[in-house]
Every structure is written in C-alpha cells, then in structure tokens.
Amino acid sequence: MKFTKYSGNPILKPNPSNEWESLCVLNPAVIYKEDEKLFYMIYRAAGNDETHYIYLGLATSKDGIHFERQSDKPLLSPDKNGADGGGTEDPRLVKIGDYYYMTYASRVFAPGQYWKADHKNYGFAPEFGPNVLRNNDTETHLAVSKDLRNWKKMGRITSAKDDDRDVVIFPEKIGGKFYRTSRPSCRCGKGYPNPNPAIWLTSSTDLLEWDEPLELFYQGSEDWESFKVGASCPPLKTKKGWVLIYHGVSAKDKAYRVGAFLLDLADPRKILAKTKKPFLEPTLPYETEGYYNGCVFPTANVVKDGILYLYYGAADHFIGVATCPFDELVEELAKEGTK
C-alpha cells in the first residue's frame, strides 16, 4: 500500500495576516462538489493567543492540491458564551441527500496552548474556578449546511461524560439507521473495563440522538496503535466493503500513524480486513517538528478520477496531502484480511 506524499507539502500553512489562523492550520475536512468542479476544505486554525481559541476556515481548489482561502474571517467560530466556547476542532464532513453534515470536537472552555505543559486548560476556567461541574473534556457537535458556506450548529451529539472525539458518520443509512464511530477516552484505558485504546460504534435514526450503549468496535492490537486509536476519515463505499481510514498512536514514541479497515457493507460492525502495518507515518520535517512532534493525522479522503486524496494535519502545524490509486488500496486491503 504505497501512498505518495505531495512534493509541495505542506499545501496549507498559517496565515500571519489573519490573527485567528496565524499560528497553525491543521486537520481539515474536504469534500468535492461535482456541480462546481471544486474541492472544498474546511480547516482547523488558531492564532497565537494563550487561551488557544480554535476556529474553522474555508479554502477551495480546482485540483485538490492548490487551495485558496475564501475569506479573511473564520467560516465557523466558537460561541464563547456557549457549549462550544473553547473551539471548533477537527471537522469531518459527509453529504447525505441534499445536505452536508459536519462533526467537530469542542470543549466548553478553550484548551490553552496544550503543547506547553504549563498552558493546558483541560480542567480549569479562571473566570469560573476549577472543575466547574466536570473537567473541560471534549464533546462532539454537529453542524448542517446546504452550500458548505452557511452553517447551522445543531448542538452536541456525544455524552458529556465520555471525553469523546474522532466522530465519523457513515454517509448513508445502513439497514435503516445511521452509524458513526467515535473515541470515548473515558470508556477505555488503564483502570477501565477495556484496557486497550478503542474505537466504538453506535447508531441513530436522526443524527442527533444516538443509541446507548455504545458498542465496542475495535481495540488497538498493534504496537503502533498501543496508546491511542481512532477513526480518521468518513468511510468510502466500494463493492468490496466500506474503507475506513484510521489512526493509531504508539506508546513507545507517541507518534501518529495511519491504517485502514475494510468493513461489511450491510453491517459496519464486521471487520473484513485491516492493515497490520501503517501505510503512512511521520518522516519529513514538517511532520516531525511542530506543536506535536511526529504526527500525520488524516481527517479527510476524496476519490477523484480513481485517485484517493488523503488530507492530514502535520505536527499540529500544517496541512499535507498524500495520494494513491484507490482501487489498488482496496485490493491490497482485501488481501490482508484480519489474521
């Protein structure tokens, strides 16, 4: 499984002219609009403020490589007096029917510059005191649009108890239900019933209310996914099954790497095949040196003219893209099986 990183990476860098995106751009959602012949990228961004409010910006491209920003203002901003007051992070985007649905992670309060040990704000809000009701953990929210430019926030769709992110929605109903994967950190790990990092699955009839209990989908079993594991990009439908690209983090070096599942079309709980070794990992300076050293974190995939474009955050600083022939990826993945 050979992905080629674009030689001109990073394809999007921080913009010093706009304070809200002057420090970092990363972890984008990307979708192709056939009627406009355009790739739309919705990217995470932040400026160099100590509280580290996180925004979403918009860029478009004709070729999936060269993107142009569409505004000097954010596409979506945190409501600083609302439930997503800390930021709008790590969007994932699907089209279902005539509408676009975007999940994004958020906290009630901004996280602070988390790569600095003395600037983390996961459990303290100065204006309200420490541990207000609960820790400043992650929730995932849903937004909806008909044109990718105007968005309606629909509220949170994960439990406030779970510290849940990496929510990826399947782009159509399966057996009369919508399905999603997520990574609820508070349901696994040391001291919890499931000791290994894990991905969970649940279903819904309306995209807003999701069934409980969540179902355990996959627990990290390889060395490169021994510390964290989570879904990365919206699933891609093929004749052989759903291709779901995911990320793993090694307990040894804390690096983010990338693999894939092949899932049953009629029952996404069934894993038909998966990669044993990662097919993308941090090797280049823009991936190994940044605000998180050693990170390729994919959040979007688009298939155009038989080529899979995989978009990823690099070291929590830039955005890169890697490509491969999609049919070759599917064939190689199917051959790997689950042994």
pLDDT of residue 121: 60
Q: What is the pLDDT averaged over residues 109-136?
A: 69
**Contact, 1 vs 11, CB < 8 A?**
no
Closest CA to 44 of 64, 65, 25: 25
More reliable by pLDDT, 113 or 136: 113
Distances (CA, A) of 302 to 158, 189, 236, 307: 26, 32, 9, 8
pLDDT above 60: residue 164: yes
Closest CA to 310 of 214, 215, 243, 255: 243
What is the rounded CA–CA span in Å between residue 144 and residue 162? 23
Q: What is the pLDDT averaged over residues 247-260?
A: 97
Q: Which domain holds residue 77?
A: 4-336
What is the rounded CA–CA span in Å between residue 325 and residue 331? 10
Phi, psi at 263, each rounded to 5° = -115, 150
Tell me: the pLDDT tens digits for 168-185? 999 999 999 999 999 998
Q: What is the DSSP letter of 54?
A: B
The DSSP bridge partners found for residue 169 are 180
pLDDT above 90: residue 109: no
Buried b (16+ CB within 10 A) or exposed e, 238-261: bebbbbbbbbbbbeeeebbbbbbb
CATH of the domain at 174: 2.115.10.20
pLDDT of residue 120: 61
pLDDT above 60: residue 220: yes
**Contact, 71 vs 59, CB < 8 A?**
no
Tell me: the pLDDT tens digits for 32-62? 999 999 999 999 999 999 889 999 999 999 9
pLDDT above 70: residue 93: yes
Across all residues in the chain, what is the average pLDDT?
Answer: 93
Confidence of residue 137 (pLDDT cuts 50, 70, 90): confident
What is the rounded CA–CA span in Å between residue 264 and residue 287? 33
Please tell me the least confidently modeled range out of 17-26, 82-91, 110-119: 110-119
The string of DSSP letters for 294-321 reads: SBEEEEEEEEETTEEEEEEEETTTEEEE
For the chain, the domain total comes to 1
Distances (CA, A) of 156 to 105, 138, 141, 226: 9, 10, 4, 29
Burial of 164 (0-12, 13-18, 19+ CB in 10 A): buried
pLDDT above 60: residue 256: yes
Tell me: the pLDDT tens digits for 202-217? 999 999 999 998 999 9
Burial of 275 (0-12, 13-18, 19+ CB in 10 A): buried
| Upper half-sphere CA count for residue 13 (Cβ side, 13 Å) | 8
Confidence of residue 161 (pLDDT cuts 50, 70, 90): confident
The answer for residues whose C-beta is within 8 angstroms of residue 186's C-beta and 6 or more apart is 137, 161, 162, 163, 164, 192
pLDDT above 70: residue 130: no
pLDDT of residue 33: 98
Q: Can you give the pTM of this predicted structure?
A: 0.96
Sheet holding 99-106, edge to edge: 89-96, 99-106, 139-145, 152-156
The DSSP bridge partners found for residue 224 are none
Closest CA to 231 of 170, 291, 175: 170
Q: What is the pLDDT averaged over residues 134-145?
A: 90
Using a pLDDT cut of 90, give the percent of the chain over it.
83
**Contact, 153 vs 143, CB < 8 A?**
yes
The answer for residues whose C-beta is within 8 angstroms of residue 195's C-beta and 6 or more apart is 188, 189
Confidence of residue 112 (pLDDT cuts 50, 70, 90): confident
